[in-house]
């Protein structure tokens, strides 16, 4: 009997649209038989202006959100539209912000070299 091999989820980022107070990011999921499904993830514009998210990171943040949905659902998620939460934004920022190395501090202004 042949074992079923778990296929990786391949999402293609298609772009974004600004819709009022949100930015909506579009993705396409390629299926086994050539079929595709569309998914949309929103991030509030306020998250960018408050520096809780960077514009260039938004597609990756949304992709992580979609991959999490696929991991928790058997088959395809019941919905095709999702919103990124404040907790997800904070987790992404924390994971992708360089940490200060111990023992390295800014030089004091009164130090002369």
N-to-C CA span, the chain: 74
Q: What is the pLDDT of residues 52-102, one digit of tens each?
A: 999 999 999 999 999 999 888 776 778 899 999 999 999 999 998 888 777
Residue 5: what pLDDT?
Answer: 52
What's this model's pTM, rounded to 2 decimal places? 0.78
**Phi, psi angle pair for 98, to nearest 5°:** -60, 135
Q: How far apart are CA 82 and CA 93, in angstroms?
A: 19
Residues of the chain with pLDDT > 70, as a percent, come to 81
Average pLDDT of the chain, as a whole number: 85
């Amino acid at each position: 009997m042949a074992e079923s091999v778990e296929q990786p989820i391949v999402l293609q980022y298609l772009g974004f649209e600004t819709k009022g107070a949100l930015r909506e990011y579009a993705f396409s999921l390629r299926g086994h038989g050539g079929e595709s499904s569309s998914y949309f993830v929103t991030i509030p514009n306020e998250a960018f202006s408050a520096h809780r998210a960077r514009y260039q990171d938004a597609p990756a943040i949304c992709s992580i959100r979609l991959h999490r949905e696929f991991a928790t659902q058997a088959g395809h998620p019941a919905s095709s539209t999702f919103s990124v939460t404040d907790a997800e934004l904070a987790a992404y920022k924390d994971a992708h912000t360089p940490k200060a190395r111990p023992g390295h501090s800014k030089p004091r202004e009164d130090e002369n070299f």
